[in-house]
């Protein structure tokens, strides 16, 4: 959504919020026609506010008041959503020098690690997470392997593959790679490579 | 627009500069595209037009550039060096502007594309 759309959205919800609060205030008697006249004196508006305040039967007033409050809450919610800045993706800064900085999102590294895992024979599925604290890169991966494969060997191979791939791509050492292997469930179709 | 169509430094506006920076980056092997940014839109705005994915600002040392890249699966430090070198070379050789910092954001990596050879570098 571009800036203009956001501004229009904010203005729209702000107007709805003000109208809803005004309606609720008029129905409950907190906002009277006399008070509004002090700010802006306009006959038809004064009449409308009086009509709204004395709307009959009583149940209609309660329903209108509750509706106004509900709309106000919704408008406030949407306004808050519009005003909340978009979340920046978590990213790893590879270098930060006078030349400039180079940054890559962790989700890309996660994809890369999963791809490296899947390149290992006997690995059926892989789910990885990559974290970086104080410049170091740490990977945690869960791989589903063929039931008949040696889990220890495959685990070591996955560990090596991830480490090599990430170090090759990032040009920096990967501090730690934790791999957990799970045997593939019986009856599950093997992955077609 | 190709790199040969670079305007002279005297009539160079920010938008034209952003276009040329984008084209220069795209010409680097391993760069597959320019992203508009993730979570927020990075762009250079001009009269009735905008260049997505490239930010131009003037810094202490010269023109500061921010660019969002979509790359092939390739060593990033090497690619970053090449992109910076290409942009810096463009700024110095085709304009009289000095280059400040060049921030690179790797917004996406296409792993289906064959990695470029490291031996091609530098």
For B20-60, how does the pLDDT look when each residue is reduced to its tens digit (9 = 90+)?
999 999 999 999 999 988 777 888 888 888 899 999 988 77
pLDDT single digits (tens) A124-178: 899 999 988 766 889 999 999 888 888 899 999 999 999 999 999 998 889 999 9
Cα nearest neighbour of B73 on chain A? A169
Q: Which residues contact B15 (CB under 8 A, 6 or more apart)?
A: B44, B45, B46, B47, B49, B50, B51
Helix (H) or strand (E) holding A45: helix A43-53
CB atoms within 10 A of CB B69: 26
Helix (H) or strand (E) holding B18: helix B14-26
- Whether B101 sits inside 8 A of A98 (CB atoms) is yes
**pLDDT given at position B9:** 43
- Whether A169 sits inside 8 A of B101 (CB atoms) is no
**pLDDT given at position A193:** 66
- Whether A101 sits inside 8 A of B101 (CB atoms) is yes
Task: Order across the sheet with A174-183: list the strands.
Answer: A123-133, A136-145, A174-183
Taking the CA of residue A45 and the nearest CA in chain B, the distance in Å comes to 42
Spatial distance between the Cα atoms of A94 and A92, rounded to a whole number of angstroms: 6
pTM of the model: 0.67
Cα nearest neighbour of B87 on chain A? A99
Q: Is the peptide bond before A121 cis (omega within 30 degrees of 0)?
A: no
- Can you tell me whether residue B97 is helix, strand or coil? coil
Spatial distance between the Cα atoms of A93 and A52, rounded to a whole number of angstroms: 59
- Whether B101 sits inside 8 A of A99 (CB atoms) is yes
**pLDDT given at position A34:** 80
User: Best residue in A5, A97, A104 to probe B by mutation, most B CBs within 10 Å?
Assistant: A104
**pLDDT given at position B80:** 94
User: Which residues of chain A make contact with B106, given a CB cutoff of 8 A?
Assistant: 102-105, 108
A9-20 core/surface letters (b: 16 or more CB in 10 A; e: else): beeebeebbeeb
Show the tokens assigned to A129: 């997470």
């Amino acid at each position: 959504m571009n800036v203009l759309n956001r501004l229009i959205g904010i203005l729209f919800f702000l107007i709805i919020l003000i109208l809803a609060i005004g309606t609720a205030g008029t129905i409950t008697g907190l906002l009277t026609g006399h008070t509004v006249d002090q700010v802006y004196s306009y006959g038809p508006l004064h009449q409308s506010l009086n009509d709204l305040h004395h709307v009959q039967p009583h149940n209609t007033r309660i329903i209108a008041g509750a509706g106004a409050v509900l709309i106000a809450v919704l408008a406030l919610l949407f306004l808050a959503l519009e005003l909340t800045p978009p979340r920046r993706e978590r990213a790893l800064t590879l270098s930060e020098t006078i030349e400039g900085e180079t940054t890559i999102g962790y989700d890309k590294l996660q994809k890369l690690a999963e791809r490296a895992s899947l390149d290992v024979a006997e690995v059926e599925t892989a789910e990885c997470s990559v974290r970086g604290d104080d410049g170091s890169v740490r990977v945690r991966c869960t791989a589903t392997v063929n039931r008949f494969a040696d889990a220890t060997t495959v685990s070591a191979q996955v560990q090596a593959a991830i480490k090599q791939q990430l170090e090759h791509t990032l040009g920096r050492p990967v501090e730690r790679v934790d791999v957990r292997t799970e045997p593939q469930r019986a009856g599950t179709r093997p992955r077609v490579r | 627009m190709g790199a040969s169509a670079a305007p002279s430094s005297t009539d160079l506006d920010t938008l034209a500069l952003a276009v040329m920076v984008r084209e220069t980056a795209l010409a680097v092997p391993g760069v597959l595209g320019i992203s508009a940014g993730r979570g927020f839109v990075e762009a250079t705005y001009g009269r009735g037009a905008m260049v997505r994915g490239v930010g131009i600002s003037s810094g202490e040392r010269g023109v500061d550039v921010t660019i969002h890249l979509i790359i092939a699966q390739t060593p990033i430090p090497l690619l970053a060096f090449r992109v910076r070198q290409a942009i810096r070379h463009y700024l110095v050789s085709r304009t009289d502007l000095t280059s400040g910092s060049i921030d690179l954001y790797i917004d996406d990596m296409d792993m289906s594309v064959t990695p470029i050879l490291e031996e091609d570098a530098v």
